[in-house]
Structure 1
Amino acid sequence: MTRNLELLVAGMAFDHLGKFGAWQFYTQFTPESVRELEELGYGAVWLGGSPPADWEGYEQLLAGSASITVATSIVNVWGTQPEAAADTWLRLEEKFPGRFLLGIGVGHREHTDAYTKPYDALTHYLDVLDAHGVPQHGRALAALGPRVAKLARERSAGALPYLTVPEHTAEVRGILGPDALLAVEHKVVLDTDADRARAAGRDKAGFYLGLINYVNNLRRFGFDETDLTQPGSDRFVDAVVAHGSAEQVADRLAEHVRAGANHVAPQIIGEDYRSALRTLAPLLAQRLN
């Protein structure tokens, strides 16, 4: 398939994703919750926490719903062999055409003893997916920096940034060009008490300030050591965690769309993610008009 045709097919798939999805740890999703999110108008569920490529839940989530996309965010290249990832994609594509997106990434050097030459490991992974027949529109890359964003443009459907700000979204869109997928995660606390919301957001987001790839990326957008030293400043928390009323949160998520994202996936902080997504659904739909 030529790259132009790949982009055409991918563009059709992006329409199916819709503008908003839901990002949660992969074991939090059930067939029932995914079906409800589909009915609420969310176009994709993003399975976080580095799910293994052979996780049996993919098929259960897809079988329990009708049209929503199930996507990994992300399968870690150090933890899952590319052959296994390819087998899973091909099997699910045959049973649920166009509904499974394989998100892959290199994870974090702090958590992986084998973390050497990550860019080379990622390109090798893509080579194996190519050899096993996984098309570019069937996979996407976790991308923060410009180099991997360019690789995402050239060899996948697009980029899946995590823990970013709308300014980063605009930068990545400029690298990807107009046709590639740009699906952005953003954390959410539905709470109008700013101190309480920041405390919840800091408890979740502050962890990532121990990971150098996120810290280096945020430095490029004006954050300094006073912001990025754990547990993180209020300025940091306010930037990466949308909090306040449902209307304020919806406005913040829509900033990524205006900055160039095809799709935004709120990650709800708190035990009852389904309730928060129910509240947000009609407000996010309004932001599309």
Structure 2
Amino acid sequence: MSDQATPVSLGTYGVWLSETMVTADIARGLEAHGYGALWLGSANGEVLEGARIALAATQTLSVATGIVNIWTSDAQATAAAYHRLENQAPGRFLLGIGAGHREANGAQAVKPYQAMNDYLDVLDREGVPVDRRVLAALGPRMLRLSAERAAGAHPYLVNPDYTRSARSTLGEGPLLAPEHKVALVSDRGEGLRRAREGLAIYLDMGMQNYLNNFRRLGFEDADFVAGGSERLLDAMVAQGTPDAIAAEVDRHLDAGADHVPLHPIHDAVEVVDVMGQIATALRSR
């Protein structure tokens, strides 16, 4: 990543949580463990309440959305929310937007590429800087758009093999921040159970954007049934001890990632402790 991709300081690793899980105590705990950024999934772009809470509770932690859905959050209202956060905590918020899934968003989501361009046009008019936004991207066309009209890309549900391909598409300059799911467990069976839990909605709903991306990575339809094959689960969810998880997510950096948001498949009451153990392993590498 070039120094000019975004002025928001993300650090090497962040934590990805659903916006509904975020509390002031969780944000402070993750900051204390040394994570550079907190990514908020399924964020309400018109309000961005989770981001407000996290920024108010911390001193140095950056906050990003992963993502605001362009079909459900009005672009002008989202821009206004961005400016409120920028006034609250200058330089610490990164706006991530994406087109979501046709299966969840209905017939309106038939032209996501054009809809994304239209949304970005509004953000331009409302003064949201290009280097303060990232796009959810999986396919090469959306990846290229993220390099042209944003600071870069925040791909979701990917592995290091994908990261290597995405970096080739993006080139050296843009930000690449791939999410990776993690499950801290001592038992192989529990790891697979949590991994299936983390992938269930995408496989059960047959979300084609993810299934197509899995196919590009060499997986087959047989990998998508019965909760997912062990091969798929191992590729998409880093499981096991803190050291094993750290070794797996580090592979994203070797493949060209700039920053990796780790997505714990754990309950809110476990998150700070789990991510603290993983942070210790990451620092020791």
Report the TM range for the smaller structure's normalisation. Answer: over 0.9
Q: TM-score, normalised by structure 1?
A: 0.93
For 1:67, the aligned partner's letter is T
| Aligned counterpart, 2:41 | 48
| Aligned counterpart, 1:71 | 64
Runs of 4+ in 1 over 6 A off after TM superposition: none
| Aligned counterpart, 1:126 | 120
Structure 1: tracts of 5 or more residues without a match: 1-6
Displacement of 1:240 after TM fit? 0.4
| Aligned counterpart, 1:278 | 276
Q: Identity of aligned pairs, percent?
A: 44
Q: TM-score, normalised by structure 2?
A: 0.94
Which one of 21, 33, 42 corresponds to residue 14 of structure 2?
Answer: 21
| Aligned counterpart, 1:263 | 259
Separation in 1 of the partners of 2:52 and 2:266? 26
| Aligned counterpart, 2:220 | 224
Which one of 197, 200, 203 corresponds to residue 197 of structure 2?
Answer: 203
For 2:278, the aligned partner's letter is L
Which one of 224, 236, 247 corresponds to residue 240 of structure 1?
Answer: 236
Is the contact made by 1:103 and 1:139 (CA closer than 8 Å) also made in structure 2?
Answer: yes
2:110 is paired with a residue of what secondary structure? Answer: coil
CA deviations over 1:228-286 (Å, ceiling 9, x no partner): 23511111101101001110011001011111111111111121111110101121123
Structure 2: tracts of 5 or more residues without a match: none
Separation in 1 of the partners of 2:262 and 2:3? 27
| 1:174 aligns to 2:168 (yes or no) | yes
Is the contact made by 1:38 and 1:67 (CA closer than 8 Å) also made in structure 2?
Answer: yes
CA deviations over 1:162-214 (Å, ceiling 9, x no partner): 11111110111112111211111111111131112101211221321220000
Q: CA RMSD for the aligned pairs?
A: 1.3
Is the contact made by 2:134 and 2:154 (CA closer than 8 Å) also made in structure 1?
Answer: yes
Task: Map residues 77-116 of structure 1 onto 2, 5 A cutoff.
Answer: 77-113=70-106, 114-116=108-110
Is the contact made by 2:7 and 2:91 (CA closer than 8 Å) also made in structure 1?
Answer: no
Separation in 1 of the partners of 2:16 and 2:263? 5
Displacement of 1:63 after TM fit? 1.2
For 1:191, the aligned partner's letter is V
